[in-house]
Amino acid sequence: MNFQLTKEQEFVRKMVREFAETEVEPLAADIDKEHRFPVETVEKMAKYGLMGIPFPTEYGGAGGDNISYAITVEELARVCASTAVIVSAHTSLCCWPIYKYGTEEQKRKYLPDLLSGKKLGAFGLTEPNAGTDASGQQTRAELDGDEWVINGAKCFITNGGFADVFIVMAMTDKSQGNHGISAFIVEKTDPGFSVGKTEDKMGICASSTTELIFQNMRIPKDRLIGGLGKGFKVAMSTLDGGRIGIASQALGIAQGALDVTIEYMKQRKQFGKKLSQFQALTFVVADLATKIEAARLLVYKAAYNETAGLPYGVNAAMAKLFAAETAMEVTTKCVQLHGGYGYTKDYPVERMMRDAKITEIYEGTSEVQRMVIASNVIGK
């Protein structure tokens, strides 16, 4: 058993950290305040190959592994959770299902542009009446000659306002229950497609979270992906990998919060001593650091399993559950350690705390993760 990162993984961390600190961090507070999607950052990330890391060079990916991808999302999230989720949603929720379930034609048509970052991807499963209960899909797709006609709406779609390609789930045969759901590749230029309202959120404010509206949207027959009735399977397996991305995001948020807090504690003096010299406070830091390290190991193990072709669904659920709850605890305590200053926008920790909350909710709430883990551990 080898706990060492490979040379490549170490250099990935080095590169993304430098990139994050120089290109991403300076914008983080502003884009959060302005709720502005950082288009220029996405362009830069595309240029350096960050938008297709865990995919083979044959399709335009970087030829990297999943731990490197996890490290990338973590390092981005360390300074800006919004920027991190742009990469994560694009890579895990759109590029991955096309790579895994697409026909050769579909892969050749979509992956080069997506993996090079020329186009941005997104994933549409959630609906106003189908959140945790994803099987309650009301969006329907009907075959009409050579085209699918799709009607319905999705909500809370990450990258919604800026994506070019969407993996959309729709009901093709209501009588089959979960086996009546199918997955489709939708392009923003498809007739009948539009982006609805943009959510005004508590955190990850620079991430574009929108409605998608399909009004008699017509797409060619060959846009079906994964096979008829296989949409639920496509969605669930996609979310398994997506969980590793979100767990990495949560991990990065926690680490970033702790890092800036330790800096603060070394400068701030009260009662003639630095905060870092008060034992009660250092014990808090010790506990947080330990939890972050535990989260890290869960994330990397899940990523390792995925790359190695081993089952990783439960690992991903555990990583996401634990990392998200850790991020919430760490950021809350880091605001506390900053005292009054932590509650102001002068310091980044209040933003990190607002950002952390969503990791307990999206891509499967903590409750869903517990369902997955329990079902696996207890069995029938």
Which residues in 199-228 contact other proteins (CB under 8 A)?
none
15 lies in the binding site for other proteins (CB under 8 A): yes
Residue 211 bears catalytic tag: no
267 lies in the binding site for other proteins (CB under 8 A): yes
* Best CA proximity match to 319, nearest among 70, 89, 101: 70
**What DSSP string describes 2-31?**
--PPPHHHHHHHHHHHHHIIIIIHHHHHHH
Buried b (16+ CB within 10 A) or exposed e, 7-41: eebeebbebbbebbeebbbebbeebbeebebbeeb
For the window 327-356, what string marks contact with other proteins as x by the rule CB under 8 A?
Answer: --------------x----xx---------
- When the beta carbons of 19 and 156 are compared against other proteins, the nearer one is 19
Q: How many CB atoms lie within 10 A of CB 236?
A: 15
Among 268, 332, 336, 365, binds other proteins (CB under 8 A): 268
Q: How far is the CB of 74 from other proteins (least distance, A)?
A: 15
Q: How far is the CB of 22 from other proteins (least distance, A)?
A: 8
- When the beta carbons of 217 and 334 are compared against other proteins, the nearer one is 334
- Is the separation of the CB atoms in 305 and 318 below 8 Å? no
Strand partners, 167: 123, 185
Integer Cα distance of 263 and 368 in angstroms: 36
DSSP state of 299: H
- When the beta carbons of 48 and 283 are compared against other proteins, the nearer one is 48
49 lies in the binding site for other proteins (CB under 8 A): yes
Q: How far is the CB of 276 from other proteins (least distance, A)?
A: 13
Q: How far is the CB of 19 from other proteins (least distance, A)?
A: 5
Catalytic residue among 74, 127, 350, 363: 363
64 lies in the binding site for other proteins (CB under 8 A): yes
68 lies in the binding site for other proteins (CB under 8 A): yes
- When the beta carbons of 14 and 221 are compared against other proteins, the nearer one is 14
* Best CA proximity match to 82, nearest among 242, 202, 239, 165: 202
Give the H/E segment covering residue 169: strand 165-171
- When the beta carbons of 24 and 246 are compared against other proteins, the nearer one is 24
Q: How far is the CB of 345 from other proteins (least distance, A)?
A: 8
Which residue in the block uniquely carries the two structure tokens 């960050």? Answer: 50
**What DSSP string describes 96-161?**
HHHHHH--HHHHHHHHHHHHTTSS-EEEE--BTTBSSSTT----EEEEETTEEEEEEEEEEEETTT
- When the beta carbons of 118 and 197 are compared against other proteins, the nearer one is 118
The residues assigned a catalytic role are 363
Residues that bind other proteins (CB under 8 A): 7-8, 11-12, 14-15, 18-19, 29, 47-50, 52-53, 57, 62-64, 68, 263, 267-268, 341, 346-347
